[in-house]
Amino acid sequence: MFFYLGLLQDTLRDRLQTLLVIVLQLKLQQRRTREELVNQGIMPPLKSSATFHEQRRSLERARTEDYLKRKIRSRPERSELIRMHILEETSAEPSLQAKQLQLKRARIADDLNDKISHRPGPMELIHKNILPVHSSIKQAIIGECMFVVLHTEASYNQV
């Protein structure tokens, strides 16, 4: 039995190594070329020195940093963001604002569900001439409603 267990372990180990080799080959096939890495600024070009590449990257970082600092300095005030409806005006603590927003949404959802539950049905809309229907269909619907009402009244009278 131990012989078979050892044989099984060897087989599993061989298959695992084969799978790892296949995965590694796929990853090597999918990796970016050196030219792509140079174009993206990840690697320095072959013709230029590494120090030149580092200087260039540091200059690009400095330019980006300056741009972001300028944007931060010129960003609008809180009152302006409230006026543009980007922020909501609230007196709650910042840690409670998320809960306040959840509560507001839940209240709106409850209100909508209540309004939907009290909304008139299609028959009521037809009777009030809100839902347009051909006159022959309307007469048939009204006649059927009258039949249901009369039939219901007759069944109550029989009891």
Give tens-digit pLDDT for 93-105.
878 888 888 999 9
Domain chopping of the chain, boundaries = 120-158
59 sits in the region (left: phi over 0; alpha: psi -120 to 50; else beta) called: alpha
14: helix, strand or coil: helix
Q: Residues 102-118: pLDDT tens digits?
A: 999 999 999 999 999 99
On the CB side of 158, how many CA atoms lie within 13 Å of its CA? Answer: 6
Per-residue pLDDT, 96: 84
Answer whether 100's CB lies under 8 Å from 92's CB.
Answer: yes
Can you read off the two tokens belonging to residue 37? 């890495």
Could you give the C-alpha distances from 132 to 101, 122, 125, 155, in angstroms and in order? 40, 10, 9, 33
**Residue 97 neighbours by CB under 8 Å, 6+ apart:** 90
Per-residue pLDDT, 142: 65
> Which segments in the chain show pLDDT lower than 70?
1-5, 141-159
pTM: 0.36
- Of residues 116, 117, 90, the one with CA closest to residue 103: 90
